[in-house]
């Protein structure tokens, strides 16, 4: 058989084969997709990491609030007990009985200690009245109270009677504008361990509570080894620089972790939460391994299919070579059957695919718009959510900086909301949240912005409002909620913190923190109150 001449024999340059072109096409299609998936995964991982940090900071912030609540309860209880009639009569035995009754009734604190100016304990409810008592475990604390006449939240020290780490909230006992005694409310570190246990952190996570000097008061891991010791130097330095944040650090056991913290602006106590980097990286490595395996399989399958398709297309083209040569010579050669689909069918298929893609694109755009709306609205109350609130705060802050238009932030919190949930159930709690949201929408002005900020907290932004007007409006809100008839729970009250943004603020969060501080003051003053900052 005569050998067929190659294309070069006719002076034509060498051309690429169909199989080679298809293989390159598959690579050109798959490689950008692979790179895109890798980039999207990296972005998703980073976004998930950032969201995890935000969630951890929010948890730490809530735990700090629980710590502050524990300390404020002790301070208020001590202040109330310091006005006991038995102390006015100098009836120390009667005061001893009364103090034990208060502990049994309120379950606030583990003991009460009455100390004179020399630091000598006169009464300690852990001992029977009249038994010999040691001096105060930290004489510097009563000296500060006698010197200033103000309450003091102590750092961790070794108790004079228990001889183990404790903290105390110390308040003055006044007699004609003079400090007569110091009344100490002893707080067990077990109360702080209970706050950690209530979070149910995953195994391996490390969390700790620190006093205002950076000393560990409670810890999820090995508390017996670390309670009473200082946190790491890096941690103490970072919490002194900012109220909240995250960092890569190493625990006292030498475990590298991603750690976050939140520090109370009122008491100076802080909470740290750490996730070992090994846990984070294990999930990442496992996911990356599966992703790489899937992409490798996809690439191999794609190349194999391209090779098979190239062979079939090349065979169909070559099958037409002999008939074409035969026809060129005037020979009658039957045209062989080929495997290539007609162009018309391809065109119809492409048109159908285009129509289907257009319909799906329209549906996808509508679905994305609906999802974007859902992402900005709180599903329970129908109010805007925290993300929307943060955006509005940023807008108002930039407007203030640009044109000097003032605005006020209201930070509102439902009083005793946990008790409502515990007493009547979460369904009633949800009804309370919805009714409070309705009251806020009906009471605030149309130009005001209101959102559910989280849990039982609500935040309102009042543009073009001065401090006096904001306080009046906040008081109206408080009274309206107090008079509103709630189902099952009947009467519900709110505490409100009011803060005006100023052009001296560094960012929009400053006014929110002031409003939060004012809210704490309203809570400390007995709740159902409005306080400005």
Please list the active-site residues. 456
Question: Rounded to whole angstroms, how far apart are CA atoms 65 and 56?
Answer: 14
Task: Say if residues 380 and 474 touch (Cβ distance below 8 Å).
Answer: no
What CA–CA distances, in Å, run from 318 to 5, 24, 25, 71, 305? 14, 21, 21, 88, 20
Helix/strand/coil (H, E, C) string of 316-369?
A: HHHHCHHHHHHHHCCCCCCCCCCCCCCHHHHHHHHHHHHHHHHHHHHHHHHHHH
Other CB atoms within 10 A of residue 148 CB: 11
Retrieve residue 164's tokens. Answer: 């183990």
Task: Please give the Cα distance from 492 to 527 (Å, whole number).
Answer: 11
Strand order in the sheet with 270-276: 216-219, 206-210, 270-276, 256-263, 244-250
**Type and span of the H or E element at 149:** none
Give the residue carrying structure tokens 């401090």.
467
Structure tokens at 345: 């069918």
User: Any bridge partners for residue 452, and if so which?
Assistant: 458
- Characterize the bridge pairing of strands 157-158 and 457-463: unpaired
CB distance 514 to 532 below 8 Å: no
- The candidate with the shortest Cα–Cα distance to 168, out of 158, 180, 176, 181, is 158
What's the half-sphere exposure (Cβ side, CA atoms, 13 Å) at 442? 10
For residue 482, give the nearest of 519, 520, 444, 528 by alpha carbon. 528
Of 457, 493, 448, residue with least CA distance to 385: 457
Looking up tokens 């929009």 gives 508
DSSP 12: P
Determine the Cα–Cα distance for residues 50 and 62; give it in Å rounded to an integer.
18
Extract the tokens encoding 13.
């340059």
């Amino acid at each position: 058989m005569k050998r067929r001449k190659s294309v070069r024999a006719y002076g034509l340059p060498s051309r690429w084969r169909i199989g080679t072109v298809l293989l390159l096409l598959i690579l050109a299609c798959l490689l950008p997709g692979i790179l895109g998936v890798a980039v999207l995964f990296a972005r998703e991982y980073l976004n998930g990491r950032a969201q995890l940090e935000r969630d951890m900071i929010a948890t730490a912030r809530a735990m700090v609030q629980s710590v502050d609540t524990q300390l404020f309860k002790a301070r208020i209880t001590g202040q109330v007990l310091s006005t006991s009639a038995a102390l006015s009569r100098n009836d120390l035995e009667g005061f001893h009985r009364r103090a034990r009754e208060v502990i049994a009734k309120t379950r606030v604190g583990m003991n009460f200690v009455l100390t004179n100016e020399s630091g000598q304990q006169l009464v300690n409810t852990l001992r029977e009245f009249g038994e010999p008592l040691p001096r105060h475990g930290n004489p510097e604390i009563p000296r500060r109270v006698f010197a200033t006449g103000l309450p003091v939240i102590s750092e961790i020290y070794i108790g004079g009677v228990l001889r183990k780490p404790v903290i105390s909230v110390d308040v003055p006992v006044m007699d004609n504008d003079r400090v007569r005694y110091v009344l100490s409310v002893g707080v067990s570190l077990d109360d702080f361990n209970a706050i950690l246990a209530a979070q149910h952190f995953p195994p391996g996570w490390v969390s700790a509570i620190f006093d205002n000097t950076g000393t560990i008061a409670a810890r999820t891991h090995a508390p017996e080894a670390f309670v009473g010791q200082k946190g790491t130097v890096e941690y103490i330095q970072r919490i002194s620089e900012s109220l909240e944040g995250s960092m890569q650090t190493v625990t006292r056991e030498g475990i590298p972790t991603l750690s976050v913290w939140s520090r109370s602006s009122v008491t100076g106590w802080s909470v740290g939460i750490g996730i070992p980097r090994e846990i984070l990286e294990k999930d990442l490595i496992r996911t990356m391994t599966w992703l790489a395996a899937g992409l490798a399989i996809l690439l191999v399958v794609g190349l194999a299919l391209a090779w098979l398709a190239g062979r079939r297309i090349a065979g169909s083209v070559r099958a037409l070579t002999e008939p074409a040569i035969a026809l060129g010579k005037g020979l009658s050669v039957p045209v062989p059957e080929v495997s290539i689909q007609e162009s018309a069918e391809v065109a119809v298929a492409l048109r159908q695919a285009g129509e289907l893609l257009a319909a799906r694109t329209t549906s996808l755009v509508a679905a994305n718009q609906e999802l974007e709306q859902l992402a900005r609205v709180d599903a329970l109350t129908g109010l805007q959510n925290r993300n929307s609130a943060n955006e509005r705060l940023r807008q108002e802050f930039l407007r203030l900086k640009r044109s000097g238009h003032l605005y006020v932030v209201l930070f509102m919190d439902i009083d005793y909301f946990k008790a409502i949930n515990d007493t009547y159930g979460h369904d009633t709690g949800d009804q309370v949240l919805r009714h409070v949201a309705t009251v806020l929408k009906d009471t605030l002005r149309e130009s005001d912005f209101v959102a559910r900020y989280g849990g039982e907290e609500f935040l309102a932004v009042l543009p073009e409002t001065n401090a006096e007007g904001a306080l009046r409006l906040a008081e109206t809100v408080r009274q309206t909620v107090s008079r509103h008839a709630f189902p099952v729970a009947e009467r519900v009250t709110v505490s409100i913190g009011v803060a005006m943004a100023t052009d001296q603020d560094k960012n929009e969060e400053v006014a929110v923190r002031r409003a939060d501080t004012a809210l704490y003051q309203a809570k400390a003053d007995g709740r159902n109150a409005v306080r400005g900052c």
